[in-house]
Structure 1
């Protein structure tokens, strides 16, 4: 870890309180783009790490052009997408294809604790700054490599996107309506899950490095990450030979446990246990309805596919069809698992989301306020910092190279003239 004085200077440079955060003092060099990687390093930044985002001066992270775009006072535009996944970072530019750019990265890595990269395996090695080279410079370095298929295996060299992971990790084949074509999960779950597993791997490796002084490679595959999100599909296949198929909103065997139509939309209802089924019958049914059908008292009976389709589901549909989402939540939400299916506008304005500080406001000079998601990690002593801004391209290049890499101003200027570095303005 860096010393207290340097930590304070870097924290001040990023507009943060140097004393905040469980990972205060941890330096992360972030050589990533898009989401699988930037989100990983952003979570580390939220937890207090000093994260230095490295971008090519002529080919920056192309999510800087992704919508939605915020318009600035001077006519400039800023991507809300980029800002959401890169808050709390220091922005540095380096052309890693230049020998001096690679050498400069090595000087940063010598002072760092973690490197995060998400190139296709072999790319960093071809630049001369792969794991084996960087561990020689810094033996305690934690090197997190996020990729589509991991650092080894027959697919490792293949290009990949989130959809590649959903396709090859099994999730795509399971999603969609019964008897319909498979449908991708409606978010970049491969990117996001790989990023979160990357955080877990980094934290575990940091713990080991602190104890022993020994760094290690953290190898995260999007395909691997997606596979672990398939719930019971793997063991259903290995134990019973069953191949998971699209089920729409239903669970493979738990019933009732799906979305049901109501007067103004849909609600999720999960009253499948004996306790919740009895409560639901008393709340929604006619007097004596629970006693009139003892054949549905046992959970195993309600799980039977035919019984559920012919007897249970029609009952639940009758309960909900003439009530609104709000009426149903107010009547039963505190007693049984029943939740309105909310669109993102309703979620952003949800009072519980507000109480949990899950929508945060960040001010950007000249652009106004960006509202983005906060952190689901709640720590009562070292809470995550979630209102920091994302950096302009190369915004902190000169100061980071001076303070962390120990470069003199004339050396920094020479790198700028050669095109190895650049910065906004």
Structure 2
């Protein structure tokens, strides 16, 4: 892979997943990311014992690894003048300053846009927030389950009317990881603009804004028709029988999305061994299939229930329509397409313990980015301070006074 971010330094003051995962992507693509952590406890993610869904256990903190791979760590007290001075000195050597601190916290700490740019006018200033930089909730903290999932309409969009509960996000850090991709793209665009014009833009991404973008088509339809977007009841059939999920004999689901029902019905009839259905007047064309969708769906449901997933894989291998197997996370990790494209990558801790991570979703020059492990807390502290020109006595003094870890 071409390290397109090589030579770019990112200074991060952030915790948890949303914003740190953005600089993790940039690190995968070659950037030098310096992660500033709380001088005593480090990133709060290091102490996270549970996601609220599953416990975090084992030799590898994979949630920390996902959003902090490839970085260098420095424990620094930003509430002290000397700690802030160290931060400013690093900022002077950086291309990007990235934070998820709330506006009022940035102002209190002295890490606002004007504060950082006073030491480096060319730096890209990037902030990730829950609800955006402006408005009554700009200084209110949030999480992806709130701003991205619940507030933006995503939860209602997945809520089945027949169930009296609000669905939870499908994975920890779901909106965080999507939002991180948006931040990373925004930073790369800002760097391109700076190279072209000499101007250093500010990058502003929120979980709420990312959620609205993810719901963008539904939002546009809702605004056009004056009706909020909601999911159809699970018992309500789709009009197109070839846009549906069908259960195999061994309990697996096959998902089809053949939007042109009339075109794909004949080859589907061949797949299920019912060529007689091609000339059935009930299914003569797209309009007829839609009008008789219940009959077509019932035929397909019974057909797919007669064979196993392995058998259907063989029978559908040459089917010209669009389909896939509904998979869980372990299945997709071993999916031939995942393996062929390097969408899951091997990694090792400092002690050599192996683990696997999702690869960065953008590849350059036909090769996936190979993630490096996350740093131990303050692993690179002495190295980073030495790069700033601080001698051993100065570093020891900062350590004794608790300015650095």
TM-score (norm 2): 0.90
8 A contact 1:255–1:272 mirrored in 2: no
| 1:263 alignment partner in structure 2 | 249
The within-5 A match list for 1:395-414 is 395-403=379-387, 405-414=388-397
1:303 Cα deviation from its structure 2 partner: 5.3
| 2:296 alignment partner in structure 1 | 312
Please give the secondary structure, in 1, of the residue aligned with 2:348.
Answer: strand
Q: State the alpha-carbon separation in 2 of the partners of residues 252 and 156 from structure 1.
A: 41
Confirm whether residue 283 of structure 1 aligns to residue 271 of structure 2.
Answer: yes
Range that drifts further, 194-203 or 152-161: 152-161
1:312 Cα deviation from its structure 2 partner: 3.3
| 2:221 alignment partner in structure 1 | 236
The within-5 A match list for 1:199-218 is 199-218=184-203
1:324 Cα deviation from its structure 2 partner: 1.8
Question: CA offsets per residue over residues 95-147 of structure 1, 9 Å max, x none?
Answer: 11111111111110111001111122321111011111112221111111001
Q: State the alpha-carbon separation in 2 of the partners of residues 257 and 184 from structure 1.
A: 25
1:254 Cα deviation from its structure 2 partner: 6.4
8 A contact 1:27–1:50 mirrored in 2: yes
Question: CA offsets per residue over residues 38-74 of structure 1, 9 Å max, x none?
Answer: 1100110111111111101213112223454333xxx
| 1:15 alignment partner in structure 2 | none
Q: State the alpha-carbon separation in 1 of the partners of residues 257 and 5 from structure 2.
A: 39
Query: Aligned match of 1:343 in 328, 336, 345?
Result: 328
Question: CA offsets per residue over residues 309-339 of structure 1, 9 Å max, x none?
Answer: x233213212311122222222214422221
Q: State the alpha-carbon separation in 1 of the partners of residues 94 and 87 from structure 2.
A: 10
Q: What 5-or-longer segments of structure 1 have no aligned partner?
A: 1-18, 72-77
Please give the secondary structure, in 2, of the residue aligned with 1:53.
Answer: strand
Range that drifts further, 408-417 or 43-52: 408-417
Range that drifts further, 213-222 or 182-191: 182-191
Q: State the alpha-carbon separation in 2 of the partners of residues 65 and 303 from structure 1.
A: 54
Q: State the alpha-carbon separation in 2 of the partners of residues 50 and 344 from structure 1.
A: 30
| 1:10 alignment partner in structure 2 | none
Q: State the alpha-carbon separation in 1 of the partners of residues 113 and 139 from structure 2.
A: 16
Range that drifts further, 288-297 or 106-115: 288-297
Q: What 5-or-longer segments of structure 2 have no aligned partner?
A: 49-54
Please give the secondary structure, in 2, of the residue aligned with 1:137.
Answer: coil
TM-score (norm 1): 0.86
Query: Aligned match of 1:116 in 92, 98, 105?
Result: 98
Query: Aligned match of 1:128 in 110, 126, 149?
Result: 110
| 1:180 alignment partner in structure 2 | 163
Question: CA offsets per residue over residues 133-190 of structure 1, 9 Å max, x none?
Answer: 1122211111110010011122212221111121110000111334324413312332
| 2:150 alignment partner in structure 1 | 167
1:295 Cα deviation from its structure 2 partner: 4.6
